Amino acid sequence: MIVTIEDIMSTEIDSVEADLSSCAALEKMRDGDRSCLPVVEGRVPIGVISVREVIRAFAAVLAGEALPRTAGEIMSSPPVTVGPGDSQDRAVEIVKESRAHQLLVVNGEGELIGIVTQTDLVRAQTLVVAHERDRLEASVVRRTEQLQRVNERLEHMALVDPLLGVGNRRAMDQELFRLQELASRYGRSLAVVMFDIDDFKKFNDHYGHPAADLVLGDIAAAAQGEIRGADALYRYGGEEFIVSMPETSKEGAAMAAERIREAIEALEIPHALSAHEVVTVSLGVAIAEVEGGDVDWTRVVNAADTALYEAKDAGRNRCCVSES
């Protein structure tokens, strides 16, 4: 914030001509309750009568000297002047250098147009400091909000698989732990479906990594389309996925797993090295039904993993349900 003299100067000016009697000039200061009185010739300031000059004049009278006859004889000169476009900081420097208590403001023709006192400068500096404080506080708020958004974005990125846009292993751990606590506290069931892509290594070696990445995306999207809003899909690692299904029965989880299997097979993605000739998945389902006991989500995941390998051993492209 840049404050100029024009912003803070007073344009209500009492001035006197240099040939005005000293008594009249002093009466004008007293009646106007002025701490200083510019002395002008026409409209051009040539000096100033301040309290300091008044004291000096009466001290001379007390010492036996005559009171100066005119304002021009009392005034100090030359006056300390500034322009309306000068900055408040520049005015402060001039005050320090000249030790003046007031600055006369003159235009380009040297004519008196205003006056600035030390009080005006202090008041302006207070406003500048307050404005700068408000600006810094607003900047801190904006910066804090920016950092918060960045942190939220980073936290989101830390929980999402960058290739597929689904939850990653870390997100899965957090969510299954949360569901485990709810299941244990309220006696609710917790189902897990684990699946992976059949003969995916052969597909990767035969078709290449770019094609394999596209297949992973298609499969994730197909699986997402077959689960409820309360369920969540996670990339467990490589070509393995897990679906968490809170408050789901064994039958309901098995039906959801079968829908996922059918949806992926219906994509009809060619797989020349698969016995099924298209990309398929095998799935394992496990459930923890709580009746007053505690749920251990890792045991549920391990049970689903075991059921998944049973599906693999049984010929792939099928779903097996854990009996444990």
pLDDT tens across 49-82, in order? 887 888 887 887 788 888 888 888 888 878 888 8
Based on its alpha-carbon atoms, the radius of gyration of the chain, rounded to whole angstroms, reads 44
239 in active site: yes
Confidence (pLDDT) at 175: 92
Cα distance between residue 234 and residue 169, in whole Å: 7
Confidence (pLDDT) at 72: 86
| Residue from 311, 185, 305, 320 nearest 253 by CA | 320
Q: Residue 16: pLDDT band by 50, 70, 90 thresholds?
A: confident
Read off the pTM.
0.59
- Residue 82 phi, psi dihedral angles, 5° rounding: -140, 165
- Annotated catalytic residue: which of 239, 247, 265, 277? 239
Angle between helix 209-224 and 250-265 (nearest 10) = 140
Please name the residues in contact with 23: beta carbons below 8 A apart, sequence gap of 6 or more: 67
Domain ranges in the chain? 5-123, 169-321
CATH for 169-321 is 3.30.70.270
Q: Residue 293: pLDDT band by 50, 70, 90 thresholds?
A: low
Confidence (pLDDT) at 158: 85
**107-159 pLDDT per residue, tens:** 989 899 988 888 888 888 888 788 888 889 999 999 988 988 888 888 878 89
- Mean pLDDT, rounded, for 249-272: 96
| Residue from 138, 142, 160 nearest 150 by CA | 142
Cβ atoms 279, 198 nearer than 8 A: yes
Q: Does the structure show a pLDDT above 70 at 180? A: yes
**195-228 pLDDT per residue, tens:** 999 999 999 999 999 999 999 999 999 999 999 9
Cα distance between residue 127 and residue 133, in whole Å: 10
Three state DSSP letters for the chain: CCCEHHHHCECCCCCEECCCEHHHHHHHHHHCCCCEEEEEECCEEEEEEEHHHHHHHHHHHHCCCCCCCEHHHHCECCCCEECCCCEHHHHHHHHHHHCCCEEEEECCCCCEEEEEEHHHHHHHHHHHHHHHHHHHHHHHHHHHHHHHHHHHHHHHHHCECCCCCCECHHHHHHHHHHHHHHHHHHCCCEEEEEEEECCHHHHHHHHCHHHHHHHHHHHHHHHHCCCCCCCEEEEEECCEEEEEEECCCHHHHHHHHHHHHHHHHCCCCECCCCCCCECCEEEEEEEECCCCCCCCHHHHHHHHHHHHHHHHHCCCCCEEECCC
**89-107 pLDDT per residue, tens:** 888 888 888 888 788 889 9
Please name the residues in contact with 190: beta carbons below 8 A apart, sequence gap of 6 or more: 176, 179, 180, 183, 244, 245, 246, 247, 248, 287, 288, 290, 295, 297, 300
Cα distance between residue 255 and residue 109, in whole Å: 94
Establish whether the linkage from the previous residue to 78 is cis, with ω within 30° of 0.
yes
Residue in the block written with tokens 């698969």: 274
CATH for 5-123 is 3.10.580.10
